[in-house]
Amino acid sequence: MKKNRIVELTLLIIILGIGFWNVKQQQKILYLRSSVESLVDDNKNLKVKQNELISENDRLEKAAESSAESLKRIQKEIANTGVDLNDEFITFVSKLFEANLNFSPNNYSDRKKTVSGYLSDELIKEYFGQGRNTYQESNHTNSKLESIEVYPKGIQNSKLSGLVVVYYKSKQVDQDWMEGMNIFKVTYDSHTKKVTEIENLGSGYFG
């Protein structure tokens, strides 16, 4: 009888031990399962973020390529525009001074109309406005432009400035020709296609 109780007690202990181990194993399995699920979720989040980073990197690369192409195009346009404007400035200013310095008493009145076509409204008033003695009559003077040198300096906004050196000769009736030289600073507006400023920097005569 005592031996049976020992066997029963031993079996009970074994059963309780197995049950306790099963509970522990179940808890461990649940914990591992939860950890795996968490890792899976983390992996999914990392995958999403990785895809987002890849997409953002692709977008930035495309934006950088587009910006580089735009920059090259703008630089090319600026370079071409600079060359075109220099040519335009030289041609325009040369025609202005040709009209301004080639005249005689017979065609002097036409000179005002021709020259005005190259000037801004402000310069027209300054040179040909009411009460101005300058350029109102020829005083029996003949003038011929001998040569002109135009040196563009730079562009600011739409305005291009430069130095103009003119060599000319002039004379009054029954007088000998006198050669002269003038240096001007000229500003040209490429939008309005007009000269907006003419500043006389110096002159000289050569007898």
Give me the DSSP letters along 79-143.
Answer: HHHHHHHHHHHHHHHHHHHHHHH-B-TTTHHHHHHHHHTTB-HHHHHHHHSTT--TTS--TTEEE
Q: What is the mean pLDDT of residues 165-175?
A: 90
CA-wise closest residue to 186 among 154, 166, 164, 204: 164
The whole-angstrom separation of Cα 155 and Cα 124 is 23
For the stretch 81-131, pLDDT in tens is: 555 889 999 999 999 999 999 998 888 888 888 999 999 999 999 888 765
Burial classification of residue 14, based on how many CB atoms lie within 10 Å of its CB (0-12 exposed, 13-18 middle, 19 or more buried)? exposed
141-156 β-sheet, strand order = 141-156, 159-172, 178-189, 194-205
Contact 95, 118 (CB under 8 A): yes
Q: How many CB atoms lie within 10 A of CB 93?
A: 23
Rounded to 5 degrees, what are φ and ψ at 98?
A: -65, -45
pTM comes to 0.58
Rounded to a whole number, what is the largest CA-CA distance in the chain?
165
1-207: CATH class: alpha beta
Q: What is the mean pLDDT of residues 142-156?
A: 92
CA 54 to chain centre: 32
Residue identified by tokens 């895809």 is 51
Contact 52, 122 (CB under 8 A): no
The amino acid occupying position 122 is E
Domains of the chain by residue range: 1-207
Q: What is the mean pLDDT of residues 141-159?
A: 91
pLDDT score of 65: 75
Q: Is the pLDDT of residue 132 over 80?
A: no
The whole-angstrom separation of Cα 117 and Cα 119 is 6
